Amino acid sequence: MLFNSLEYLFFLPVVFTLYWLLRKQLKAQNFFILAVSYFFYGCWDWRFLSLIIISSLTDFLVGMRLGKTENSGEAKALLMLSLAVNLGFLLVFKYFNFFIDSFVDLVSVIGMKPSISTLSIVLPVGISFYTFQTLSYTIDVYRKKLEPSKDIVNFFAYVAFFPQLVAGPIERASNLLPQFDRLRDFDFAQARDGMRQILWGLFKKVVIADNCALYVDAIFAGHESLNGLILLLGAVLFAFQIYCDFSGYSDIAIGTASLLGFKLMQNFSTPYFARDIAEFWRRWHISLSTWFRDYLYIPLGGSRVGQALQIRNIFAIFLVSGFWHGANFTFIIWGLIHSLLYLPQMLMKTNRKFLGVVAEGKMFPSAYEVFRMLLTFVVVTVAWVFFRSDSVGESFTYLLRMCSFSEAGFGEVLSELMLNANLLKLVALYILFMLVVEWFNRGKKHGLYLMPSNIVFRFGFYLMLCLLILEYFFGKTSFIYFQF
């Protein structure tokens, strides 16, 4: 079930109403959340519910046992069991064919032609997200940073919580699980803010991301015959497509959770206003970057080790992050690019230079801040070409042709691609509007966190967003991160 679908528009009010009818009945509310979460996920493919149930049951039982044992050997064995089950699912369903194909290509270089069959497997939607979510629980219990859950319904609901089940935020058990253990009261202010966040998420997804996709798909598909200006347009539009698509999903997820009395972590914080790569990664997909920081980078020694090991750790976290996104060398190259961009800042100890909000306390940024934001956006956009392309070769072809020029007119090329030039102008205005709104809410939880006090202007603003969403709503395209 998609957030940007009529089904969800009926589903959410029904869930909201029934959920709060069970007010003051904690066990009934949690069981209801579990049931509707399984229904929500089952709308894609009910067969993959078995994977969520197995992961949940494994980590619940492992956590219970970890809470009782004082034997370090047994504790390590239990942790390995959890890792084997959860990462095993990822290996089989997401990476098995990649490793087989890579092995065949490698040995074919030396003249061998092994006959190894790949598997015809459908990637379970959201598997990378809920796997990391349940793993964080087991690891924290193993580290004695979290008491094991004793209520199986609460734990299963934590793993399968439908707002963020499919594409995050990847919630830590220490934040979300205790919220299932305590009674939740309806908070009108929280619910109202949740509705605003849902509205802003839908605007970014339906109005910007889906319209950008029309141009991005056509331009990337025909990149071998297009001129540099059109390819540059495709790269820039993809940068905004993936941001508005993914942050739009996060906004809807966090807003939905707010309607139910839950508080999820912020997943995006205006990353395109970042002044360097380090700041970009503190603002982009925050739940994943902090997950890798806490469960990979710091255990490897982080920045507390020698310079050689620090370099290793930086490469490790970015390469694994790239591989997490998909079984393709394009994602690994994307991670490698970001590690090379981040490395000089880490070595020169400037990676924490920009910790505050850009132009804090001022209406407009300085020329220096504008330059740094534009430079960061450019290098991020170049890296996005690898993320979007189907192969590494296609990425390099795209970038090389992006540096070329031809006499073909802009409008002429758009016409050949059967793209609407007038809609493109509107999309540019929508992007500019989004940037202006988020600029005035930079440093806040979401783009509509602060609104004018004038009630006529405020509700006129909401009405305008609703009308724009309705204008483009029925395209019903999936979210990009569903494939991860």
Task: Give the model confidence (pLDDT) of 143-192 as tens digits.
Answer: 999 999 999 999 999 999 999 998 879 999 999 999 999 999 999 999 99
User: Within this chain, do residues 432 and 348 fall inside the same structural domain, yes or no?
Assistant: yes
Pair of tokens at residue 264: 């999820």
User: Within this chain, do residues 125 and 194 fall inside the same structural domain, yes or no?
Assistant: no
- What does the alpha-carbon distance between residue 460 and residue 115 come to, in Å, rounded to a whole number? 64
Residue 8 lies in a domain: no
pLDDT at position 325:
87
User: Within this chain, do residues 194 and 163 fall inside the same structural domain, yes or no?
Assistant: no
Angle at CA 420, nearest 5°, toward 415 and 426?
145
User: Within this chain, do residues 134 and 214 fall inside the same structural domain, yes or no?
Assistant: no
pLDDT at position 3:
85
| Last residue within a domain, chosen from 140, 160, 184 | 184
| Last residue within a domain, chosen from 130, 165, 184 | 184
Give me the domain span that covers residue 62: 24-184
User: Within this chain, do residues 123 and 225 fall inside the same structural domain, yes or no?
Assistant: no
Q: How many residues does the chain have?
A: 484
- What are φ and ψ of residue 59, in 5° steps? -75, -30
Residue 222 lies in a domain: yes
User: Within this chain, do residues 163 and 255 fall inside the same structural domain, yes or no?
Assistant: no
User: Within this chain, do residues 179 and 219 fall inside the same structural domain, yes or no?
Assistant: no
Helices in 143-227 by DSSP H: which ranges? Answer: 152-160, 162-165, 173-181, 188-202, 210-221
Residue 64 lies in a domain: yes
Question: How many C-beta neighbours within 10 Å does residue 329 have?
Answer: 18
Pair of tokens at residue 459: 């509700």
Q: Is 325 a catalytic residue?
A: yes
- What does the alpha-carbon distance between residue 257 and residue 453 come to, in Å, rounded to a whole number? 25
Torsion of CA 265, 271, 275, 281, to 10 degrees: 60
User: Within this chain, do residues 124 and 196 fall inside the same structural domain, yes or no?
Assistant: no
User: Within this chain, do residues 217 and 91 fall inside the same structural domain, yes or no?
Assistant: no
Q: Give the residues of the chain that fall short of pLDDT 50.
A: none
Burial class of residue 397 (count of CB atoms within 10 Å of its CB; 0-12, 13-18, 19+): middle
Residues whose CB is less than 8 angstroms from the CB of residue 351 and which lie 6 or more positions away in sequence, other chains included: 276, 278, 342, 345
User: Within this chain, do residues 156 and 258 fall inside the same structural domain, yes or no?
Assistant: no
pLDDT at position 227:
84
- What does the alpha-carbon distance between residue 171 and residue 189 come to, in Å, rounded to a whole number? 23
Give residue-wise pLDDT tens across range 401-427: 988 776 556 666 676 677 777 888 999
CA-closest candidate to residue 288, choices 256, 252, 322, 254 = 322
Residue 260 lies in a domain: yes
pLDDT at position 189:
94
Predicted model pTM: 0.92
User: Within this chain, do residues 198 and 139 fall inside the same structural domain, yes or no?
Assistant: no
Residue with tokens 């080790």: 305
| Last residue within a domain, chosen from 134, 157, 184 | 184
Whether the link from the prior residue into 169 is cis, omega within 30° of 0, is yes
pLDDT at position 420:
78
User: Within this chain, do residues 249 and 110 fall inside the same structural domain, yes or no?
Assistant: no
Residue with tokens 């694994």: 320
Domain count, the chain: 2
pLDDT at position 345:
93
